[in-house]
Amino acid sequence: MDLPGSGMKALILAGGYGTRLRPLTLTQPKPLVEFANKQMILHQVEALAAVGVTTVVLAVSYRAEQLEQEMGCHAERLGVKIEFSQEEEPLGTAGPLALARAHLDGTDPFFVLNSDVICDFPFAAMIDFHKSHGAEATIAVTEVAEPSKYGVVVFEEQSGQISEFVEKPQEYVGNKINAGLYILSPAVLNRITLKPTSIEKEVFPFVAADGKLFAFVLPGFWMDVGQPVDFLKGQTLYLQHVRKTAPERLAAGPHIRGNVIVDATATLGSDCVIGPDVVIGASVRIESGVRLRGCTILAETRIQPNAFVTQSIIGRKCNIGSWVRMEGSSVLGDDVVVKEELYLNDAQVLPNKTISTSVPQRAVIM
């Protein structure tokens, strides 16, 4: 039986520098940063492949060779063709579509995704909705608690037809925002020229004015995980989703509290307490008496006895000394050493650094 997206193509916007997620992105492009022990972009590519997408185009720029090498390893496993469209200069969120037009040309609609979005990816339902209205474009939208902080999508609730976009409204006009997932018909490409362009501000308003833009309301959770605080919020939402849909993926045992993912190659010492909302990567060593809460520990890192880490992201191959305390959205790049008994609060530490003194307030360690 054909899948709903059989033969479709997708373009993933993966060309940014990932500045909001530094220092993790100083040694790898943001789409390759692991989220819940899987590279961000793989969450999306696997979901696309599951509905029958056969070609995924990556719009790349920063560390493009690293992305090409890594994703080439996954193409055969997933049964998709992965192509690359290289930007020589930043082209915004619409320019990359013009650059990749040769990859996308045809008669069928195609997906466009922002690479740092995490959600349940209900692509099959989104395809059905796009086919049902038959217009040029579908935008996935998601509900937010404080719409005044965002650009709000105003649309007719029954049909989904979008009438306008209101940036940071001071009066209530709706509570749905652009979720960074689209299905576009090829006609949209005729509206885009090859120059730095915003699809949100310079393309979609004109499609809406022509009555050809519709909103698909995302069910379930959603988060743009492109900065540390939102990365950790998204991790909490993702782990809650796993609890509901695939609880066998979560760790269990006397050391575990709440929703936790532990890679099979990681080791946990005696008397440690892990969770809630923790992800532990491949070959990580958690030693005795360690306390972890609301954090991510990336691959091959060692956490020495009695350290406490909360609301922080620790990069690959780090070494955290005994009795260290880390909190306040601290982020360590790869290969960082933190000496014993130090306190880090909202510290951003660049790769290959050794920290020998406490960082009690926000600081970037160069």
Phi, psi of 35 (to 5 degrees): -120, 120
Structure tokens at 264: 């099979």
The pLDDT value recorded for residue 294 is 97
The pLDDT value recorded for residue 18 is 64
Structural contact between residues 115 and 103, judged by C-beta atoms closer than 8 angstroms: no
The pLDDT value recorded for residue 31 is 87
Structural contact between residues 94 and 202, judged by C-beta atoms closer than 8 angstroms: yes
Rounded distance between C-alpha atoms, residue 21 and residue 24, angstroms: 6
Structural contact between residues 118 and 222, judged by C-beta atoms closer than 8 angstroms: yes
Q: In b/e form, how buried is each residue of 290-317, taking b as 16+ CB within 10 angstroms?
A: bbbbbbbbbbbbbbbbbbbbbbbbbbbb
DSSP label at 63? T
Strand order in the sheet with 337-338: 267-268, 285-286, 302-303, 319-320, 337-338, 354-355
- Tokens 């996954």 belong to 74
Q: Confirm whether 339 is a catalytic residue.
A: no
Structural contact between residues 161 and 55, judged by C-beta atoms closer than 8 angstroms: no
Let me know how many helices (H) and strands (E) the chain has, helices first: 8, 31
Residue 364 burial (CB count, 10 A)? 13
Structural contact between residues 173 and 166, judged by C-beta atoms closer than 8 angstroms: yes
**Closest by alpha carbon to 307, among 258, 282, 276, 272?**
272
Grouped pLDDT means (10 residues each) for the chain, 366 residues:
81 80 86 92 93 90 76 82 86 88 87 92 95 94 83 89 84 85 93 90 92 94 90 96 95 94 95 96 97 97 97 96 94 95 92 91 74
The pLDDT value recorded for residue 366 is 61
Structural contact between residues 117 and 224, judged by C-beta atoms closer than 8 angstroms: yes
* Catalytic position from the list 168, 244, 317, 339: 168
DSSP label at 321? P
Phi, psi of 250 (to 5 degrees): -90, 150
DSSP label at 320? E
Question: Could you tell me whether strands 9-14 and 55-60 are parallel, antiparallel, or unpaired per DSSP bridges?
Answer: parallel
Structural contact between residues 27 and 334, judged by C-beta atoms closer than 8 angstroms: yes
Task: Label residue 335 left, alpha or beta by phi (over 0 means left) and psi (-120 to 50 means alpha).
Answer: left
Structural contact between residues 164 and 200, judged by C-beta atoms closer than 8 angstroms: no
